[in-house]
């Protein structure tokens, strides 16, 4: 009996994608970058607010995914949004976004800031310029 193909996590992230995320993430107070067990992650204190990695799926093929955190109404909306968003199945507020040629980088920038604000200490969140409620 043949083994079932398994999804594999990889470091295969295009340099331009990583560079774009790096600029967004490192622009936030006290944020820093480090290599993760696979891919690259950006953290505030010891908490990861963005992680980017490659995924090789035997059914869906290769993709690049950004994991991030969300809260409140935004989290609920993203949970039901469908592709390119997906619930990761770990962490009550963890989401994934498949990055590709059609990615809305303005939306990614908003998600990065919100993810940071979900995890950062309040004194650092107060330093972040973000729009208030509509």
What tens digit of pLDDT does each residue of 31-52 get?
Answer: 999 999 999 999 999 999 999 9
For the purposes of burial, counting CB atoms within 10 Å of the CB of 4, is it exposed (0-12), middle (13-18) or buried (19 or more)? exposed
Question: Residue 105: is its pLDDT beyond 80?
Answer: yes
- The answer to whether position 86 is within a domain reads yes
**What integer is the mean pLDDT of 114-125?**
96
Single pTM value for the model? 0.89
Residue 130 in any domain: the answer is no
Residue keyed to tokens 């994991």: 67
58 domain residue, yes or no: yes
User: Using 50, 70 and 90 to split pLDDT, how confident is the model at 102?
Assistant: very high
Instruction: Tell me whether residue 1 is in a domain.
Output: no
The span from the CA of 91 to the CA of 93, in Å, is: 5
- Give pLDDT, residue 3: 65
* Residue 19 counted as domain residue: yes
Q: Is 132 a member of any domain?
A: no
Which ranges in 3-90 belong to alpha helices (H)? 15-26, 72-79
Q: For the domain that residue 48 is a member of, what is the CATH number?
A: 3.90.1150.30
| 3-state SS, residue 123 | helix
Residue-wise pLDDT for 74-88, tens only, equals 999 999 999 999 998
Give the number of domains in the chain.
1
Residue 53, domain extent: 8-125
Is residue 90 one of the residues assigned to a domain? yes
- For residue 3, being part of any structural domain is answered with no
């Amino acid at each position: 009996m043949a083994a079932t193909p398994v999804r594999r996590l990889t470091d295969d992230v295009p340099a331009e994608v990583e560079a774009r995320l790096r600029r967004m993430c490192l622009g936030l107070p006290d944020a820093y970058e480090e290599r993760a067990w696979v891919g690259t992650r950006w953290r505030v204190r010891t908490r990861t607010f963005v992680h980017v990695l490659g995924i090789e799926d035997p059914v869906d093929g290769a993709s690049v995914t950004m994991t991030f955190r969300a809260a409140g109404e935004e989290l609920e909306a993203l949970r039901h949004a469908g592709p390119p968003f997906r619930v990761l199945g770990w962490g009550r507020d963890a989401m994934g976004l498949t990055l590709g040629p059609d990615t809305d980088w303005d939306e990614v920038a908003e998600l990065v800031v919100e993810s940071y604000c979900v995890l950062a200490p309040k004194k650092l969140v107060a330093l972040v310029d973000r729009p208030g409620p509509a």
